[in-house]
C-alpha cells in the first residue's frame, strides 16, 4: 500500500519512470538481434558408426558397448542414447551444461580415435563425431531401403535424389551417408592371359594409359585454333571392359576377354587386401 500511495501522491515521478521504462523496452525490442533459428551450441554430440553387413546384435557387442564404456568414463556426462540398426549405429552423448563445448568435442574425438585404432573392428567403414547446433533443428531425413537392390543402385538413386534436392533454394545442405563407395574391380583370369600369351603388365599399362588426359597440341585452321586432347577418363564398367589391351594377329583383345569387370563396394574390397 505504501508503494501505491507514494505513486499516487508523486504521479509526476511515476509517469516519468513509466515513460523511461517504455522507451528502454522499445529500444531493446528494435535493436535486439533476432533470428528464426538462432545458433546455440549445447553440449551434445552425435557419433555415427557405419559398419556394412553387420547385424544389430554384432553392432552392439563389437562397436556400441566399447564406445559407451569409454564415454561413461568421461567427466560431466549426463545422458547417453544409442540407436542401432543393420550396419549403422548412432550414439548421442549429452554432457552437463557449463562445460566447454569445443574442449569436450576434442576430448570425445580423441577417445573415439583411440578406440578405432585399438578395440574396434578394423573393417568399419566410417566413424564420425559431430557437434549438435540449434540451427540444425530443421532436418529432413529420407531413407532408401530395398531388399533386392544392390548398394550401387541405392547409391545411384541417392545421387539422383540429392541432385534434385539441391535445386531447392531453401535447403541449406544436402548430403547422404550409409552407402559404401563404389569401385570398379578387375579380376584378371590368368589362364586366359596365358592362352593369349599376354603379360599381366600389358593389361595394367593399357588401363593406365587409357585413363590419362594427354594434350595433343593444337590445329591451326586459318583464323581458328583448335586444341586437341585425348580424354581417357573411364565413365563406367563398359568403358573399362572395352579397353583394348592387345592386337593378336589382327584380332583385338579387350579387357573383358581376359578379366571380369564389375562394381564392388569399396570397404569390402579393402577388407580383402592383405595387412
Looking at the structure of the chain, the number of domains it has is: 3
Q: Check if the beta carbon of residue 240 is closer than 8 Å to that of residue 234.
A: yes
Q: What is the dihedral of CA 243, 248, 252, 253, to 10 degrees?
A: -40
Same domain, 88 and 160: no
Angle between helices 11-31 and 2-9 (to 10 degrees): 100
Last residue of a domain, one of 124, 147, 180: 180
Range of the domain at 86: 45-136
Task: Examine residue 66 and state whether it is found in any structural domain, yes or no.
Answer: yes
The whole-angstrom separation of Cα 45 and Cα 136 is: 12
At residue 139, the pLDDT reads 66
Tell me the CATH number at 126: 3.30.70.1430
At residue 211, the pLDDT reads 61
Same domain, 87 and 156: no
Task: Examine residue 34 and state whether it is found in any structural domain, yes or no.
Answer: no
> What is the pLDDT tens value at each position of the chain, 275 positions in all?
577 787 778 888 888 988 999 999 898 888 887 766 566 778 889 999 988 888 888 889 999 999 999 898 888 898 899 998 888 899 999 999 888 888 989 999 999 988 888 888 888 888 989 887 665 556 677 778 777 887 778 888 888 888 888 888 777 778 877 766 677 788 888 888 888 888 888 888 777 776 655 454 555 666 666 554 445 566 777 888 888 887 777 788 888 888 888 877 664 434 333 33
Task: Examine residue 21 and state whether it is found in any structural domain, yes or no.
Answer: no
Q: Check if the beta carbon of residue 253 is closer than 8 Å to that of residue 247.
A: yes
At residue 226, the pLDDT reads 56
Classified as helix, coil or strand, 229 is strand
DSSP alpha helix (H) spans, 150-252: 151-166, 190-196, 200-210, 237-241
Tell me the CATH number at 222: 3.30.2090.10
The whole-angstrom separation of Cα 188 and Cα 192 is: 8
Same domain, 53 and 132: yes
Task: Examine residue 3 and state whether it is found in any structural domain, yes or no.
Answer: no
Angle between helices 101-118 and 65-72 (to 10 degrees): 140
At residue 43, the pLDDT reads 87
Task: Examine residue 1 and state whether it is found in any structural domain, yes or no.
Answer: no
At residue 136, the pLDDT reads 52
Alpha-carbon distances, residue 49 vs 64, 86, 102, 111, 152 (angstroms): 9, 11, 21, 14, 20
Amino acid at each position: 500500500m505504501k508503494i501505491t500511495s507514494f505513486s499516487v501522491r508523486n504521479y509526476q515521478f511515476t509517469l516519468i519512470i513509466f515513460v523511461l521504462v517504455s522507451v528502454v523496452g522499445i529500444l531493446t525490442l528494435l535493436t535486439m538481434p533476432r533470428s528464426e533459428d538462432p545458433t546455440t551450441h549445447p553440449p551434445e554430440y552425435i557419433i555415427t558408426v557405419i559398419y556394412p553387413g553387420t547385424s544389430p546384435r554384432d553392432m552392439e557387442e563389437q562397436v556400441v558397448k566399447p564406445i559407451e564404456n569409454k564415454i561413461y568414463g568421461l567427466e560431466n556426462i549426463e545422458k547417453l542414447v544409442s540407436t542401432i540398426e543393420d550396419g549403422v549405429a548412432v550414439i548421442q552423448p549429452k554432457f552437463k551444461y557449463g562445460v566447454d563445448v569445443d574442449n569436450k568435442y576434442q576430448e570425445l574425438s580423441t577417445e573415439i580415435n583411440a578406440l578405432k585404432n585399438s578395440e574396434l573392428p578394423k573393417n568399419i567403414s566410417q566413424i564420425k563425431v559431430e557437434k549438435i547446433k540449434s540451427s540444425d533443428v530443421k532436418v529432413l531425413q529420407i531413407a532408401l531401403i530395398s531388399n533386392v537392390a544392390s548398394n550401387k543402385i541405392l547409391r545411384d538413386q541417392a545421387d539422383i535424389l540429392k541432385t534434385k534436392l539441391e535445386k531447392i533454394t531453401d535447403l541449406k545442405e544436402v548430403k547422404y551417408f550409409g552407402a559404401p563407395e563404389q569401385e570398379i574391380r578387375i579380376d584378371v583370369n590368368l589362364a586366359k592371359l596365358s592362352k593369349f600369351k599376354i603379360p599381366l603388365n600389358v593389361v595394367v599399362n593399357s588401363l593406365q594409359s587409357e585413363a590419362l588426359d594427354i594434350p595433343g597440341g593444337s590445329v591451326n585452321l586459318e583464323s581458328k585454333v583448335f586444341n586437341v586432347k585425348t580424354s581417357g577418363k573411364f565413365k563406367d564398367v563398359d568403358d573399362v571392359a572395352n579397353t583394348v589391351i592387345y592386337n593378336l594377329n589382327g584380332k583385338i583383345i579387350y579387357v573383358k576377354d581376359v578379366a571380369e569387370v564389375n562394381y564392388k563396394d569399396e570397404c569390402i574390397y579393402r577388407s580383402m587386401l592383405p595387412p
